[in-house]
Structure 1
Amino acid sequence: MAPRTKTRERIVQVSLELFNQQGERNITTNHIAAHMGISPGNLYYHFPNKQAIIAELFGEYEALVKSFLIPTQHRLPTIEDKRDFFLAIIDGMWRYRFLHRDLEHLLSADPELAARYRVFSQRCLVQAMAIYRGFIDAGILQMNESQIEWTSLNTWIVLTSWVRFLCTARENSEQLNEDAIRRGVYQVLMLESGFIAPQARQAFDALCQAFHAPLHKVLI
């Protein structure tokens, strides 16, 4: 069983690399098999079609986000926790950037995946609101419930559309880098800037500086 498991894992990893590098629409199962040096039949033994590979990759991404998008437990959160949240978000966006870039196409091509994504997005919004409430309890943010709701929604919109924005606005859309994705987090921090408690302002401004990337470099 070990070789079969290893082949399946390699198919998933190679597919992720190719989707990220060349775009999911430009890669077929034959491309994946050829890149791996295996027969298409061997690939189909593990995955019946490309949609099944994409669903597997989405499951990985979903599990990754679930692992970090949770409020701090048994203590109040800190600015350092906010930094860790955003670093984890950047890592996920970069590792699975094809999902963000090609999302609309992927969901329209697979109704089952679209249904999974709707549940995922609603869960993420609920968790984001819980995280914001934690920062309010910690005296870092000052928001009412309405502000929590729209800030969470705007954060979701910015982060899930940022890679697609980069691909349409950059001169070299095929050469994304983590610094360009980092700027998306800076945009989210700007949404929060008007709600920072005075005692947290200095630490928050330092956090913003850490995630800032000059726009002219982001759009190169």
Structure 2
Amino acid sequence: MERKPKRRTPERILDTALKLFNTYGEPGVTTTAIADEMNISPGNLYYHYRCKDKIVEALFAAYRAEIEHTLAAPEQRPVHAEDAWLFLHLIFEAIHKYRFIYRDINEITSRYRVLGAQFKRILAHKRRTAAAILTGLVKAGELRASPQDVEALAVNMTVIATYWLSYELARNPHNDEDAQEEKEESRALARGAFHVISLAAPYLAPRERELFDDLSKRYLN
């Protein structure tokens, strides 16, 4: 069997930092803690990333590339009601992967001004994508909503998707190191996807509403 190539040190630093940030929150993790977790010297870490800011910026760049790619998908072809679950699943997967950003969103965007400006553009892209999907469903006869309804729904969906993880964490604080808690966090993200799409449920045409009711039961279970 062909052996996988060893990961380069910069990649290992980012992987380790992401794990620690997600577990303890970005503000509570130092570069020394990252180096200790990797069993390397702080000097070795600083050779690749001269400060924690650069690690955060690199992780945010990876997150931005992933989320922007996902948000651009509905532009490739019209999205139908049954596609919405998959699309939301992909969005929440990215949120889960880089959840430290969403847990400390106000802290990070205020301390890292450049990232704050970039996150503002991501929020705008989320809202535009949601509005485009909803408008497409209206044109396909799968959603019965006015332009004003569509705009309000797009904003509300963006707000819930962005702050759902913060809500769940405040409601039920836990430690990611526990496997059971990791499983619960996956359920929390599933609930987030459900509540995002449930905003549009009252506007769905009968067939699509029936599909929503069926899928939501299986999705939450």
Matches within 5 A, 1:125-144: 125-144=127-146
Q: What secondary structure does 1:92 align onto?
A: helix
Q: Secondary structure at the match of 1:69?
A: helix
- Are the equivalent residues in 2 in contact too, given 1:185–1:211 (CA < 8 A)? no
**How many residues in Structure 1 have an aligned counterpart in Structure 2?**
210
What is the identity, as a one-letter code, of the residue corresponding to 1:155?
M
Task: Determine if contact 1:189/1:208 at 8 Å carries over to the other structure.
Answer: no
Identical columns (%): 32
Are 1:12 and 2:14 matched, yes or no?
Answer: yes
Q: Name the SS for the 2:122 alignment partner.
A: helix
In 1, Cα distance between the equivalents of 2:8 and 2:173? 38
Structure 2 match to 1:146: 148
Distance in 1, matches of 2:93 and 2:171, equals: 21
CA distance in 1, matches of 2:124, 2:75: 20
Q: State how far apart, in whole Å, the 2-side matches of 1:171 and 1:14 are.
A: 22
Cα distance, 1:72 vs structure 2: 5.2
Shift of 1:5: 7.5
C-alpha distance in 2, partners of 1:22/1:154? 29
Counterpart in the other structure of 1:102:
104
- Asked whether 1:157 is paired with 2:182, we answer no
The aligned amino acid for 2:167 is F
CA RMSD of aligned residues (A): 2.0
After superposition, what is the alpha-carbon deviation per residue over 1:63-101, rounded to whole angstroms, capped at 9, x for unaligned?
Answer: 111122232534x42333112101102211211111110
2:64 to 29, 39, 62: 62
TM-score (norm 2): 0.87
Moved over 3 A (4+): 171-176
Is residue 185 from structure 1 mapped to residue 193 from structure 2 by the alignment?
A: yes
- The AA in structure 2 aligned to 1:134 is G
Structure 2, gaps ≥5 residues long? none
Deviation at 1:32, TM superposition (A): 0.4
Q: Equivalent residue for 2:47?
A: 45
8 Å CA contact retained: 2:82, 2:211: no
CA contact (8 A) 2:142 2:208 kept: yes
| Residue deviations 1:149-194 (CA, integer Å, cap 9, x gap) | 1111111111111111111111536535200111111111221111
Structure 1: segments with no counterpart, 5+ residues: 214-220
Question: 1: distance between equivalents of 2:211 and 2:9?
Answer: 47
Do the aligned residues in 1 keep the contact of 2:194 with 2:216 (CA within 8 Å)? yes
Cα distance in 1, alignment partners of residues 7 and 115 from structure 2: 23
TM-score (norm 1): 0.88
